[in-house]
Amino acid sequence: DIQVTQSPSFLSASVGDRVSITCRATRPISNFLAWYQQKPGKAPELLIYGASYLQNGVPARFSGSGSGTEFTLTISRLQPEDFATYYCQQLHTYPWTLGQGTKVEI
Partner 1 sequence: VQLVQSGAEVRKPGSSVKVSCKVSGGTFSSFPISWVRQAPGQGLEWMGRIIPLLAKPKYEKKFQDRVTISADLSSNTTYLEINSLTSDDTAVFYCAREGGGAIFGAFDPWGQGTQVTVSS
Binding footprint of partner 1 on the chain (CB under 8 A): 31-34, 36, 38, 43-46, 49-51, 53, 55, 87, 89, 91, 94-101
Cβ at position 63, least distance to partner 1 in Å: 16
- Burial code (b: 16+ CB inside 10 Å, e: under 16) for 22-32 equals bbbbeeebebb
Whose Cβ is closer to partner 1: residue 39's or residue 77's? 39
Whose Cβ is closer to partner 1: residue 17's or residue 31's? 31
Interatomic CA distance for residues 47 and 52, integer angstroms:
10
Cβ at position 10, least distance to partner 1 in Å: 13
Cβ at position 66, least distance to partner 1 in Å: 13
For strands 85-90 and 97-98, give the pairing.
antiparallel
Question: Is 86 in contact with 36 (CB distance < 8 Å)?
Answer: yes
